[in-house]
Structure 1
Amino acid sequence: MSFRDDNSENKDLQKPFLHTGSWYKLGTRQSSMMNSSTQIIRDGSVSVLFCVLIAALGPIQFGFTCGYSSPTQQAIISDLKLSISEFSLFGSLSNVGAMVGAIASGQIAEYIGRKGSLMIASIPNIIGWLTISFANDSSFLFMGRLLEGFGVGIISYVVPVYIAEIAPQNMRGGLGSVNQLAVTIGIMLSYLLGLFVNWRVLAILGVLPCTILIPGLFFIPESPRWLAKMGMTDEFETSLQVLRGFDTDISVEVHEIKRSVASTGKRTTIRFAELKRKRYWFPLMVGIGLLILQQLSGINGVLFYSSTIFANAGISSSNIATVGLGAIQVLATGVSTWLMDKSGRRVLLIVSSSIMSVSLLLTSIAFYLQEVVPKDSDLSNILAILSVVGVVIMVIGFSLGLGPIPWIIMSEILPVNIKGLAGSTATMANWLISWVITMTANLLLTWSSGGTFLIYTVVAAFTVAFVALWVPETKGRTLEEIQFSFR
């Protein structure tokens, strides 16, 4: 299939065009889109929601990987005779594997599609969890962690992109947030199940999300935008019709997607020098910047080692407190999913980062004061409660915006002809910083809990300024409108 160039597309917009038996005029285009949007909610939302729920099994696997090290730390160290540094290496190796997976994710997703990429990502995840469950020494433990990390690296890029490409514009924010909601569910499940089963059984349970995902992929359509880019005309329109409902007129959306794909030209790669143009460097800077700041906030350090943080705060039932933290994160992310298409991405990011700045500062001060007051005093107990409250509020703030939104914006703003390379670069940067945070968090907490949270406070405060100055609002706009605006 070949698409016409921009000039021919623009000329066609000045006269009626024919598609699937219906005539549309430019003057009625806006009302047609509104009617189509209403129809989508009525007829297509169930189909799209089903696809999102199947794809969300990938982020559940992602979250299970993130949460696994928290409830298993003491048991693995005891059984395999590991040092704190070795366990920190184990915890961080998933990020190393994810960096490799992220580098490959863009190209894999471009060549074999979003569904094929998720199927490929599931295999190393399953093998990795089984390797961990049967490990008798650190080498097998490390190898399994690398394998599951590789799969998670692919999942972390492909799922947000797939959801953004199948969702109608009026539902894209909420559905996009399901990605992060699923991650938090995976984290909570690992925390909760870790209370009842040993670390080997918990690793076997980690196989389940991807084991269900593989057959589930056969029941959902491929991304229509990827099919259009690959020139698969019939498959593209069939996929979009399934997603929007068989009674919905998809003519306007088909035309918009074709126009967007045609405007990028047949060339799928660009020269490095072209990245200097604002249409490329600005969305790339925003996408990478948000994903880096998301990790520099210290969230993975808090989630990976939450049991240790609560123990340092003087909480005797630190594992149970960790499960409670996971449940709170799920609830807060659910609220974010509801708010995403109502308040907008930018406002939620500013509110989220502001809440994190205040709560992290509170936690830092509480930990600093705990070092100078008597351990058994009433003041020490009050400070312990304040530090826990600070961590909980930090996680709530993160879940409201900085958790889900960077992935949504990355999948929305990157131009289609650089999405594979730029998206995998942004995802790789996210995992690189996640590895640094995960590798250093345990050591930093041993050095000074107050100092660790003070560092994270500075990052959260900078994030507020970054969002206020640079991040555009993408609510209520089609992917094609968002990407065209950067020209």
Structure 2
Amino acid sequence: MFVKLFQSSSCLLNRRNRHQFLSTLFINLICIAHGIGVGWLSPTLRKIQSDESPVEFSLSITEISWVGSALGLGAVVGNILMGVIHSHVGSRLCLLIIAFPHSCLWFLVYFAKSTEYLFIGRFLAGISSGSMYIVHPIFLSEISDAKIRGTFGSMVMLSVNVGVLLGYILGTHLAYHIIPFVVLILPVSYFISNLFFIRESPMHLIRKGKYSEAEQSFRYYKNIKEENQISEMPEFEAMKETLTQSDKNSDKLTVKDFLTRAAIRAYGSAAVLVIVNQFSGLFAMINYMSDIFALSGSTMNPDTCTIVIGIVQILGSYTTTLLCDIWGRRILLIVSTAGVVVSLTAFGLFSYFAQWHDLSEWSWVPLLFMSSYIFLGNVGLIGCFFVVLVEMFPLKIRSKAASSAIVVCSMFVFLALNILPICMAQLGIPVTMWSCAAITAFGFVYFVFFLKETKGKSMLED
């Protein structure tokens, strides 16, 4: 039975897929580190605002919103930076560069003397995450087979969510000045493993005319032995021919290529996907989860609830890795948006009635609704986001269009992170939740009627 399982082309431990899987694990070490930086902020903000603050300064609501949203500003810079240099230097060097700005975050956290230290640290971490969200999807799409590409792509967010949970736990239970030394192990391990075990993608090497190196890279990622090259190497020749022809045509890239029917449809889908992804609040709320529970009307410990949410988030992302290449991207997005709408509406209703009635006996209800929101949100809107974003654009404009969409997404990250704490303080939890639910409901309707399925789509086709 196990032999048949390992021989399946969709099994991650299949002979052909093993090096792809190993490479995915290595590059996702920085995703875990990024997640820790995101999750760490939530309990740490509560500590800084308490009487037992580990630092010598306090934060106002405005300063909290700017420290939180600095990640989004940095992400825009990282997106643009990688969008400019990626096609020239390749994925491998870009992957190595990502480790440095993230490492700077933890040095600034340790030596923080004022709000500016945390702002700059989060900004640098944003550069790392923005770069990561450009390089990782492209690199994984270029080295992985179509049958497992969705699984590998969704593992990026699974790794981030593992990091978020670790960030919640570390931020809650470890001393402020101990955490940087613990977390720095990850970017260092990431850099070393990528330096010695990651090779440049064969597609990039073909575009650069390095055909011999591209063939070696293809053999490595497809784990092709000498005895199998007769049956498997024609795939490399087909890739080489397609990309060579594509490069010849790329010189003729014009405005018309960005205005084709397929391109315009992709813009619409990408715009809805980006807007709903951010203004459903799924990422922004993770950064302020402890404060949300403290304001929700629940009497449960906010930090404990936050850790539970971290576990639920991982379960949602893992579900995506299991179902993305079985059910497809579209159905997961539809289920995800529907669940988010119901959960946010219910959470808002509880918080609204908790203002006027004693609901202490029902204090577990916000945790239930928030868990449902985070689980179902991660199943599609988060887990499938980068997979769908890369796959939906036509081949000729894919790189530029996907990079531009991610830049816009990072701008929305900054906006959502900046306004969420202000909305919670000025409008209250109920109105904030209902507003996010309304935006997500719009996405649900669009995905049902207009979104095109991209499961099994070759990266060499439109």
Is the shorter-chain TM-score for this pair beyond 0.5, marking a shared fold? yes
Q: Distance in 1 between matches of 2:336 and 2:8?
A: 33
Shift of 1:239: 1.0
Higher mean displacement: 393-402 or 159-168 = 159-168
Q: Is the 8 A contact 1:241 1:250 kept in 2?
A: no
Name 2:443's counterpart in structure 1: 463
| Alignment equivalent of 1:372, drawn from 348, 356, 369 | 356
Following superposition, the deviation at residue 414 of structure 1 comes to 3.3
Q: Secondary structure at the match of 1:341?
A: coil
Partner SS for 2:404: helix
- Confirm or deny: 8 A CA contact 2:391 2:457 kept in the other structure: no
CA displacement 1:396-435 (0-9 Å, x = unmatched) = 1111111111200122233454344322211111111111
Which residue identity lines up with residue 416 of structure 2 in the other structure? I
Q: State the match for 2:232 in structure 1.
A: 250
Partners of 1:101 and 1:59 lie apart in 2 by: 15
Query: Are 1:441 and 2:420 counterparts?
Result: yes
Matched, 1:225 2:187: no
Displacement of 1:50 after TM fit?
Answer: 0.2
Match status 1:286 vs 2:269: yes
> Which residues of 2 match residues 29-428 of structure 1 at below 5 A?
42-77=14-49, 78=53, 79=55, 80-218=57-195, 219-247=197-225, 248=228, 249-266=231-248, 267=250, 270-313=253-296, 314-373=298-357, 377=358, 379-382=359-362, 384-428=363-407
For structure 1, the residue ranges without an aligned partner over 5 or more in a row are 1-34
- How far off is 1:93 after superposition? 0.4
TM-score by length of 2: 0.90
Letter in 2 for 1:90: V
Question: Matches of 1:446 and 1:36 in 2, distance apart?
Answer: 53
Change (3 A) 1:146 1:42: closer
Structure 1 CA distance for aligned equivalents of residues 272 and 187 of structure 2: 30
Instruction: Give, in whole Å, the separation in 2 of the partners of 1:322 and 1:143.
Output: 25
Show CA shifts across 1:85-108 (max 9, x none).
Answer: 212211110111111111222222
Which region of structure 1 is more displaced relative to structure 2, 472-481 or 198-207?
198-207
What secondary structure, in the 3-state scheme, does the structure 2 residue paired with 1:418 have? Answer: helix
Deviations for 1:228-278, whole angstroms, at most 9, x for unmatched residues? 222221121211111112234333422342243134233368334531112
Residues 430 and 337 of structure 1: CA distance in aligned 2, closer, same or farther (over 3 Å): same
Using the alignment, how far apart are the partners of 1:334 and 1:478 within structure 2? 24
Cα distance change on mapping 1:137 and 1:426 into 2, 3 Å: same
TM-score by length of 1: 0.86
CA contact under 8 A between 2:157 and 2:383: conserved in structure 1? yes
CA drift at 1:330: 0.6
What does the per-residue CA deviation read over 1:59-79, in whole Å, with 9 as the maximum and x for residues that have no partner? Answer: 212312221210100233443
1:84–1:198 CA distance, 2 compared to 1 (3 A) = farther
Q: Distance in 1 between matches of 2:451 and 2:13?
A: 28
2: CA distance, partners of 1:207 / 1:470: 44
Q: C-alpha deviations, 1:171-210, integer Å up to 9, x for none?
A: 1111111111001011011001112213333234333322
Residue type of the partner of 1:307?
A: S
Does the CA-based 8 Å contact 1:106-1:419 persist in structure 2? no
- Separation (CA, whole Å) in 1 of partners of 2:251 and 2:411: 26
Distance 1:104 1:446, change over 3 A: same
Residues 40, 244 of structure 1: 8 Å contact kept: no
Residue aligning to 1:28: none
Q: Which moved more, 1:427-436 or 1:200-209?
A: 200-209
SS at match of 2:172: coil
Change (3 A) 1:36 1:244: farther
**How far 1:36 moved relative to its partner?**
11
SS for the counterpart of 1:222 is coil
Could you report, residue by residue, the CA deviation over 1:141-180 in whole angstroms, capped at 9, with x for unpaired residues? 2222211111111011111221121111111111111111
Aligned-residue sequence identity (percent) comes to 26
Q: Which moved more, 1:39-48 or 1:92-101?
A: 39-48
CA 37–331 in structure 1, closer or farther in 2 if over 3 Å, else same: closer
1:262 and 1:427 mapped to 2: Cα distance? 27
Question: Does structure 2 conserve the Cα–Cα contact (< 8 Å) formed by 1:291 and 1:407?
Answer: no
Alpha-carbon offset, residue 387 of structure 1:
2.4
Q: Displacement of 1:316 after TM fit? A: 3.6
Instruction: Look up the equivalent residue of 1:290 and give its one-letter code.
Output: L
> Aligned AA for 2:433?
F
Q: CA deviation at 1:328?
A: 1.1
Report the CA distance between 1:453 and its aligned residue.
0.4
Q: Secondary structure at the match of 1:250?
A: helix
Q: Are residues 291 and 231 of structure 1, via their aligned partners in 2, closer, same or farther at CA, if it must alter by over 3 Å?
A: farther
